[in-house]
Amino acid sequence: MPPERFDAVVVGAGPAGLATSRELGRRGVRHLVLERGEAVGWSWRHAYDSLTLHTGKHLSALPGLGFGRAAPLFLPRDAFVDYLEGYARHFGLPVRTGCELRRARRSDGDWVLETDAGAIRAGRLVLATGIMANPHRPKIDGEERFGGRVLHSVEYRRPEPFVGRRVLVVGVGNSAGEIASELSAAGVAVTLSVRSGANVMPLRLFGIPIQYWAYAAIRLPRPARARIVRLVGHITELRRGPPVLPRPSVGPLDAIPLIGFHLVDAIRAGKIDVRGGLTGLTARGARFDDGTEVAVDDVLLATGFRAALGPVRDLIGLDSRGFARRRDRVVAEDAPDLLVVGHNYDATGGLANIRRDAPRAARLISRSGD
């Protein structure tokens, strides 16, 4: 039998894929959502237990379905996964789980998608694969000699397996800050390797989530936003004292800041030992760029993620951050029938950008079929 054909196929049933599916459905576009995992929100289900959104619920909801009044302002992981399940169910989204895209190619004006369940044809292809499925794990000198465990933060679940051990956390992004502070609160001896520093912003400013301030200011000229950032920094230092982490070469307008003071507070309390950049591992510990060495039992690489482009990686050009080069925010420059949703990140949060990009992608796809 010939392959099934859809006007569009969406790859990934996380927030970006579900939002895009809802928008395609309300525009009458016949489509299918492919999910490699066994349920929607597969990557979110496997994040660490204590993960809590640091973006407020009003800007974290997907198009068409808000959170209830009883929902907390900042949703924990399990509540957000429940929301994704309810979202797919509420809109009757056509999600096919346990179906991984293995290869994508062009044929006779269509995309031919080779999956675990056979071939599928699509007029338009939407990558909604985000970044969580593609952890960045740099090669570390001496790792083969190290006697302990080397894990990526995506493998971390809870602190109990590390109690009584000495843990090195590499990185100073939001995952690193949350994991390192959680481990230290559980009594784990934590060393933090910081290569380039961090911009630290409060979770709330005058009781309002910092993301909401960023959203309100997003249309202001860059010099005005820079002045606001400096003012927030000044207020923070007056309230909490001088920074305990080095400042990076780029400001909060150009890189996602570390949100909240959980890590800073643990460092101030002497619960976390801060070191410089990691240069290598020894049989029993870690070596840093100032020549010092520390004995550690485990290494947690909170070294971030890269765009999960999978089977189309060799078909498109990438920008300096490893994302597909795009026009109109969502259209791949090298393939106008390939759209990408969930790969725009700024201070307003990835979910807020999905709320903006999913309708745009669906609108472009529906118009292309007119």
pLDDT tens by residue, 79-103: 999 999 999 999 999 999 999 999 9
Weakest-pLDDT range from 111-115, 240-244, 358-362 = 240-244
Question: Taking a C-beta distance cutoff of 8 angstroms, is the pair 138, 280 a contact?
Answer: no
Looking at residues 202-226, what average pLDDT do you find? 91
Higher pLDDT, 31 or 107: 31
> What is 143-301's CATH superfamily?
FAD/NAD(P)-binding domain (3.50.50.60)
Confidence of residue 300 (pLDDT cuts 50, 70, 90): very high
pLDDT reading at 107 higher than 70? yes
pLDDT of residue 149: 95
Residue type, 170: V
For residue 101, give the H/E element and its range.
strand 101-107
Return the CATH number of the domain spanning residue range 4-134+305-368: 3.50.50.60
Plot region of 291 (φ>0 → left; ψ -120 to 50 → alpha; else → beta): left
Equal fold, 4-134+305-368 vs 143-301: yes
Higher pLDDT, 186 or 247: 186
Distance CA 344, CA 351 (A): 9
Higher pLDDT, 210 or 255: 210
Question: Taking a C-beta distance cutoff of 8 angstroms, is the pair 249, 225 a contact?
Answer: no
pLDDT of residue 145: 95
Percentage of the chain exceeding pLDDT 90: 79
Confidence of residue 246 (pLDDT cuts 50, 70, 90): confident
pTM, two decimals, is 0.93
Per-domain boundaries in the chain:
4-134+305-368, 143-301
pLDDT of residue 1: 67
Plot region of 86 (φ>0 → left; ψ -120 to 50 → alpha; else → beta): alpha
Looking at residues 245-256, what average pLDDT do you find? 85
Confidence of residue 347 (pLDDT cuts 50, 70, 90): confident
pLDDT of residue 219: 85
Question: pLDDT averaged over the chain?
Answer: 93
Looking at residues 305-319, what average pLDDT do you find? 89
Looking at residues 344-364, what average pLDDT do you find? 93
Confidence of residue 362 (pLDDT cuts 50, 70, 90): very high
Residue with tokens 């895009």: 20
**Which two tokens mark 129?**
């694969």
pLDDT reading at 369 higher than 80? no
